[in-house]
Amino acid sequence: MEPRYKSLTLALQPQPREIPPPPFAKDKLQEIFAEVIRHHSYQSFGFTPNGRGALFKNSDDDVVELRPALLRVAAKMDSDDVLTSGAAQEKAMRIVKIAADRLKIEAFLQCAVQVIGSMDAPGGDARAFLGGHLLRDHEQASTLGDGYFGGGVRYRSLLPGEGEDNLTVEPDVNNNSLIFLAHHKERAGVTGPITVDDAETWIGEAFDFLKGPTMALLSE
């Protein structure tokens, strides 16, 4: 079994030089957009309503957000121009590196990575498969009334003081032949600031987790 990826999201909180952090210079934001679209197409550019940052958008789920308190890249992977895990990672990291270089951001306080995907449900019935395979009881939910089913499970790995990893596995409510997968990683700069290289490592780990341990869990 192999996951089909839907999206990658990378979010980073810059380490501020002053509190509150000043707005990003509009000319710098325009320069970043001009450089980014040399590599990745975005249909629109706009400043945020308060004028402190900018948004590059193709759609609500394919967007770059640059604010003094947040750099975020949401890369849609299942559009007509399908992105592999490697291509999505390269896209997110290229954009963040361009932005960090132009805006003179050297380090970050927090990082979050989310990879969303799906896989074909064995037997073509996600509710039945997850009810029996992960919840171990096909009939348990029926005690709650007609129409109830096991909505999935969430696994967590807590890293005290540093962050958390978690995995959500659910029947796809729009297509019961698919299993919805969401893997989320959060990290805080406890022992030192977070770098763009750290973020790149965590993206790779997130994809590897879905391809490896997650598929192993669902094939046992």
Q: What is the pLDDT of residue 213?
A: 97
Residue 116 sits at φ, ψ, to 5 deg, of: -115, 135
Radius of gyration of the chain, Cα coordinates, nearest whole angstrom: 20
Share of the chain above pLDDT 90, in %: 81
Q: Which two tokens stand for residue 169?
A: 């596995």
Query: Would you give the distance in Å from CA 49 to the centre of its chain?
Result: 24
Share of the chain above pLDDT 70, in %: 98
Q: What is the pLDDT of residue 141?
A: 76
Average pLDDT, the chain: 94
The pLDDT of residue 40 is above 80 = yes
The enclosing H or E element of 134 equals none
The pLDDT of residue 137 is above 70 = no
Q: What is the pLDDT of residue 2?
A: 78
Q: What is the pLDDT of residue 147?
A: 79
138: pLDDT confidence band, cut at 50, 70 and 90?
low
The stretches of 18-133 forming alpha helices (DSSP H) are: 26-36, 85-102, 126-133
- Name the strands in the sheet holding 54-59, side by side, starting at the edge strand that comes first in the sequence: 44-47, 54-59, 62-67, 70-76, 4-14, 108-120, 178-188, 163-171, 153-159
The pLDDT of residue 18 is above 90 = no
Q: What is the pLDDT of residue 109?
A: 97
Lowest mean pLDDT among 3-12, 71-80, 132-141: 132-141
The pLDDT of residue 139 is above 80 = no
Q: Measure the CA–CA gap between 130 and 218, rounded to whole angstroms.
A: 9
With both helix axes pointing from N to C terminus, report the angle between 26-36 and 85-102 in degrees, rounded to the nearest 10. 150
Other beta carbons within 10 Å of 125 = 14
Handedness of CA 202, 205, 210, 211 (dihedral sign): positive
Q: What is the pLDDT of residue 195?
A: 96
User: How large is the average pLDDT for residues 124-146?
Assistant: 83
Q: What is the pLDDT of residue 132?
A: 87
C-alpha distances out from residue 208 to 2, 74, 83, 120, Å:
11, 19, 16, 18
Q: What residues contact residue 174 under an 8 Å CB cut-off, 6+ apart? A: none
User: How large is the average pLDDT for residues 167-196?
Assistant: 95
The pLDDT of residue 205 is above 90 = yes
Lowest mean pLDDT among 90-94, 159-163, 164-168, 172-176: 159-163
Q: What is the pLDDT of residue 143?
A: 82
